[in-house]
């Protein structure tokens, strides 16, 4: 069995920087036509100078691949209209992190509501710049995303023309509000379609499956599967592939993040075929995102075949999901 995917896109990707970037960029730029690049470096990307410099480093690391990094700024309360108007041609959106909620987010927003963020959100709404949100409170870890639903609703109601992307949703509650507001959309990761908290910590702790938002329950996973497999028009693939050196994952104080970028398309093909929805994969990994973002990616065809592939145990110093295991699909060509 063979499958061709046209211009796949990863709408939530961490590439990091420095030596790690040299490992990660080629693994995404070869298989994907474009990706939304997260800005939570140290220091975070908050200026056009930083953004342009980071994009240049990404393209250098990606070498000659046909790939467009869609850059994002790290949200600040005081971005004004003039700055954002200048920035708009260079960005795919602006990423909002609650302060301290995930990797390199200490400079994030402490208070998230329409009044506190009015200046920046009004300018974004007027300029049609998407808001990308890591939607978690600082509450109990299993409740954080559910608690954030009220914040999503408040923002959606008060800024009805603002395109709000609920990033890497993990709960049935987040799925349920998708259809309540015209301006709410979502990305879904590969790993949250496959695992629950039981897979992470039900037996021996599996650090390479530990991520934020943490994997939830079977009920939540089924809700995610239903909208992803049906290619619901308001959801799109965002890997949230988040590499960390092995020493930071297999350690006390394990870093949060699952590295899936180099196997994402193959495992998605396996998952969609298993559920009899292979025809919907194209929409989930490209077509929906094109419509949501109003963006046309570079032309690229990725050819997959149903034949076994052994996932490498490491890519550089990073351990991928399914390391050393056999998956059912392989990428046989890209052009």
Q: What is the predicted pLDDT for the residue at 328?
A: 98
Nearest to 32 by CA among 190, 309, 227, 264: 264
In a domain, 326, yes or no: no
Question: Tokens 């329409």 label which residue?
Answer: 114
Domain residues for the domain of 283 are 7-296
Question: Quick count: other Cβ atoms within 10 Å of Cβ 277?
Answer: 16
Question: What CATH number should be reported for the domain holding residue 29?
Answer: 3.20.20.140
Tokens of 38: 């997260």
Nearest to 131 by CA among 79, 81, 184: 184
pTM above 0.95, yes or no: yes
In a domain, 180, yes or no: yes
Residue 95 phi/psi, 5° resolution? Answer: -100, 125
In a domain, 96, yes or no: yes
As a whole-number percent, the residues of the chain with pLDDT over 70 amount to 100
In a domain, 318, yes or no: no
Cα(188)–Cα(6) distance, integer angstroms: 19
Cα(3)–Cα(8) distance, integer angstroms: 13
Q: How many residues are there in the chain?
A: 335
Q: Which residues contact 68 (CB under 8 A, 6 or more apart)?
A: 33, 34, 35, 297, 298
Whether 23 and 245 have beta carbons less than 8 Å apart is answered as: no
Q: What is the predicted pLDDT for the residue at 327?
A: 98
In a domain, 22, yes or no: yes
Please count the structural domains in the chain.
Answer: 1
Q: What is the predicted pLDDT for the residue at 173?
A: 98
In a domain, 219, yes or no: yes
301-305 vs 2-6, strand pairing mode: antiparallel
Cα(279)–Cα(63) distance, integer angstroms: 32
Q: What is the predicted pLDDT for the residue at 169?
A: 98
Cα 149 to the chain's mean position, in Å? 18
The per-residue pLDDT for range 14-31, each reduced to its tens digit, is 999 999 999 999 999 999
In a domain, 175, yes or no: yes
Q: Which of these ranges, 97-101, 261-265, 278-282, has the smallest mean pLDDT?
A: 97-101
User: Does residue 240 carry a catalytic annotation?
Assistant: yes
Exposure of 160 by Cβ count < 10 A (0-12 exposed, 13-18 middle, 19+ buried)? exposed
Mean pLDDT of 157-182: 98
In a domain, 304, yes or no: no
Q: What is the predicted pLDDT for the residue at 208?
A: 98
Of 10, 173, 240, 287, which one is the catalytic site residue? 240
Q: Which residues contact 27 (CB under 8 A, 6 or more apart)?
A: 261, 262, 315
Q: What is the predicted pLDDT for the residue at 70?
A: 98
Q: What is the predicted pLDDT for the residue at 312?
A: 98
Q: What is the predicted pLDDT for the residue at 200?
A: 98
The per-residue pLDDT for range 217-267, each reduced to its tens digit, is 999 999 999 999 999 999 999 999 999 999 999 999 999 999 999 999 999
Task: Output the DSSP codes for 87-149.
Answer: HGGG-SEEEE-BTTSSTT-TTSBS--STTTTHHHHHHHHHHT--EEE----SS-TTTHHHHHH
326-327 vs 309-310, strand pairing mode: antiparallel
């Amino acid at each position: 069995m063979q499958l061709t995917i046209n211009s796949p896109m990863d709408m939530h990707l961490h590439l990091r920087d420095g030596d790690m970037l040299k490992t990660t960029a080629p693994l995404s730029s070869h298989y994907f036509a474009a990706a939304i690049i997260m800005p939570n470096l140290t220091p975070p990307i908050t200026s056009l100078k930083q953004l342009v410099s980071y994009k240049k480093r990404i393209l250098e690391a990606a070498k000659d691949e046909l790939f467009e990094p869609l850059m994002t700024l790290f949200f600040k309360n005081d971005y004004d209209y003039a700055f954002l108007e200048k920035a708009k041609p260079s960005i795919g959106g602006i990423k909002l992190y609650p302060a301290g909620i995930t990797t390199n987010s200490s400079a994030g927003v402490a208070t998230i509501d329409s009044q506190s963020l009015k200046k920046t959100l009004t300018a974004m709404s007027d300029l049609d710049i998407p808001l990308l949100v890591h939607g978690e409170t600082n509450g109990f870890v299993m409740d954080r995303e559910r608690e954030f639903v009220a914040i999503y609703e408040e923002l959606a109601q008060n800024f009805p023309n603002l395109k709000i992307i609920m990033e890497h949703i993990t709960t049935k509650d987040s799925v349920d509000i998708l259809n309540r507001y015209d301006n709410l959309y979502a990305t879904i990761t590969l790993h949250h379609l496959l695992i629950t908290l039981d897979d992470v910590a039900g037996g021996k702790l599996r650090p390479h499956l530990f991520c934020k938002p943490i994997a939830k329950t079977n009920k939540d996973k089924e809700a995610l599967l239903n909208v992803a497999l049906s290619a619901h028009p308001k959801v799109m693939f965002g890997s949230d592939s988040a590499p960390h050196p092995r020493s930071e994952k297999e350690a006390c104080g394990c870093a949060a993040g699952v590295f899936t970028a180099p196997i994402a398309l193959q495992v998605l093909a396996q998952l969609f075929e298993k559920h009899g929805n292979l025809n919907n994969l194209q929409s989930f990994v490209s077509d929906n995102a094109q419509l949501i973002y109003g963006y046309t990616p570079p032309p690229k065809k990725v050819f997959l075949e149903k034949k076994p592939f052994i996932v490498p145990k490491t890519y550089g110093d990073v351990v991928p999901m399914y390391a050393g295991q056999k998956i059912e699909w392989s990428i046989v060509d890209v052009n």
